[in-house]
């Protein structure tokens, strides 16, 4: 019986591997075909970037055990997220450094342009957006939800295409530091010992709310920019606020459930301050907790 189950799993994963390769080829063909329709940006370099990105995802997926019959489906769903978020975070660092430390967050001095690296980083991200949906429908369909899958990926694909059409890839890559919390979360999903809710919440708040908020404000302050970018960032900010509110509510439930007798000062302070912009009743929750426990342990 066990041998039969193992053989079935092996067969399934061989099919999954072939599906991955076929999906990658289909994604590359789809993106390349756009050259004849509406996008003058589909150059030879872009097609090479897409092919290289597919190869990176394929090799990385295999190296991290994505084709192993022993790996649970839920973990397989996060392998490409690890690869993508790691690549995007590293790719954004030169631009974040230039924007924040060299130009003093003056977006007008650098974001309304593109270069070879920024175009590759964008191609790498767009390839992930396509592959994650196409491959996910075959290998981990239960993990592809409407909001975090179809809606999120479609939204970001449109934003990336828009940026590349207008040759302002740097404006998008400068925000890809927001993939750091995704990397933290994805690593925690692959290995429970690496899960760190505080690190995820902190990096999410710092990059996807504070950094993006400042970035949008600076874009709005630019005088007569070549392309008006800030309205494109607003849907992402709204989505991040919605997700962060859900995360905080989850953490409050977990802390309350697991700590009837009290909690650390650091935990309670963290929950209170990051939640206060969204839920003013967190102040009441904070004081009721103190009254119930008679102090903070």
Q: Could you read off the pLDDT of 110-148 as tens digits, one per residue?
A: 999 999 999 999 999 999 999 988 888 888 888 888 877
pLDDT number for residue 69:
80
139 or 264, which is more confident: 139
Q: Which residue has the higher pLDDT, 253 or 207?
A: 207
Measured between alpha carbons, how far apart are the two ends of the chain, in Å?
Answer: 53
CA atoms in the 13 A half-sphere facing the CB of 237: 14
At which residue do the structure tokens 């929950």 appear?
271
Q: Residue 247 above 50 pLDDT?
A: yes
What's residue 152's pLDDT? 82
- Residue 146, C-beta contacts closer than 8 angstroms, at least 6 positions apart: none
- Please give the pLDDT value at position 37: 45
Q: What is the pLDDT of residue 283?
A: 40
Those residues with Cβ within 8 angstroms of residue 132's Cβ, 6 or more apart along the chain or in another chain: 80, 81, 84, 144, 149, 153
Sequence-separated (6 or more) residues with CB below 8 Å from residue 31: 42, 46, 47, 50, 126, 127, 130
Query: What pTM, to 2 d.p., does this model score?
Result: 0.73
What is the pLDDT at residue 7?
Answer: 52
Q: Which of 115, 21, 119 lies closest to 67 in space, CA to CA?
A: 21
Mean pLDDT of 207-234: 93
Residue identified by tokens 């591997």 is 17
Which helix or strand (DSSP H or E) is residue 18 part of?
A: helix 2-33
């Amino acid at each position: 019986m066990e041998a039969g189950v193992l053989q079935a799993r092996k067969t399934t994963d061989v099919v999954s591997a072939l599906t991955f390769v076929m999906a990658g080829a289909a994604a590359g063909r789809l993106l390349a075909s756009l050259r004849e329709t509406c996008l003058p940006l589909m150059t030879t370099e872009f097609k090479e970037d897409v092919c290289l990105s597919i190869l990176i995802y394929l090799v990385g997926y295999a190296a991290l055990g994505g084709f192993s019959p022993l790996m649970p489906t839920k973990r397989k769903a996060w392998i490409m997220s690890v690869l993508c978020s790691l690549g995007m975070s590293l790719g954004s660092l030169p631009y974040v450094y230039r924007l924040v430390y060299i130009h003093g967050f003056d977006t007008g001095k650098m974001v309304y342009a593109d270069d070879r690296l920024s175009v590759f980083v964008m191609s790498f991200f767009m390839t992930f957006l396509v592959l994650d949906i196409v491959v996910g429908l075959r290998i981990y369909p239960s993990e592809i939800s409407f909001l975090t899958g179809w809606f999120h990926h479609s939204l970001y694909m449109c934003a990336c295409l828009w940026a590349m059409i207008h040759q302002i890839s740097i404006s998008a890559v400068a925000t890809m530091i927001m993939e750091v919390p995704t990397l933290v979360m994805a690593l925690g999903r692959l290995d429970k010992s690496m899960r760190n809710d505080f690190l995820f919440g902190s990096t999410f708040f710092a990059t996807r709310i504070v950094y993006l908020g400042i970035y949008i404000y600076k874009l709005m302050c630019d005088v007569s920019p070549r392309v008006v970018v800030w309205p494109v960032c607003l849907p992402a900010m709204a989505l991040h606020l919605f997700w962060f509110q859900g995360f905080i509510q989850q953490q409050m439930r977990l802390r309350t459930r697991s700590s009837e007798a009290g909690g650390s000062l650091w935990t309670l302070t963290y929950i209170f301050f990051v939640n206060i912009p969204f839920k003013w009743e967190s102040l009441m929750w904070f004081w009721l907790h103190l009254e119930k426990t008679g102090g903070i342990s």
